[in-house]
Amino acid sequence: MNKYNITIEYSHSGFYKVSLTDHHGARNVVYEPSVAKALNYAKTWCEDADERKHAKDVMNKAIMESIALDKIAGITTSTRDSLD
């Protein structure tokens, strides 16, 4: 069972604030011009949770591998950033 926290509230100037948290802990806030659009955004965002998590995991793995390669190549030191 997946848990999502979705809050839709009137914000200002005809816009609704949509606050979302998915079952992976990802968070997002957007503003939509109607409740219908706010609900549609929330539905789509929640449906994409697993794909978004996978993309984040792939990116994190690539970053970790880049850091490891930088260390092997001696590119990083305590006083210099890597080339990533």
- Is 78 contained in some domain? no
pTM over 0.85: no
- Is 62 contained in some domain? yes
Single-letter amino acid code for the residue at 78:
S
- Is 79 contained in some domain? no
In the 8-state DSSP scheme, what is residue 42? H
- Is 58 contained in some domain? yes
Report pLDDT digits (tens) over 44-80. 999 999 999 999 999 999 999 998 888 888 776 665 5
* Residue ranges making up the domain that contains 38: 5-73
Q: How many domains does the chain contain in total?
A: 1
Q: What is the mean pLDDT of residues 27-49?
A: 96
Looking at the DSSP bridge assignments, the partners of residue 31 are 17
- Is 81 contained in some domain? no
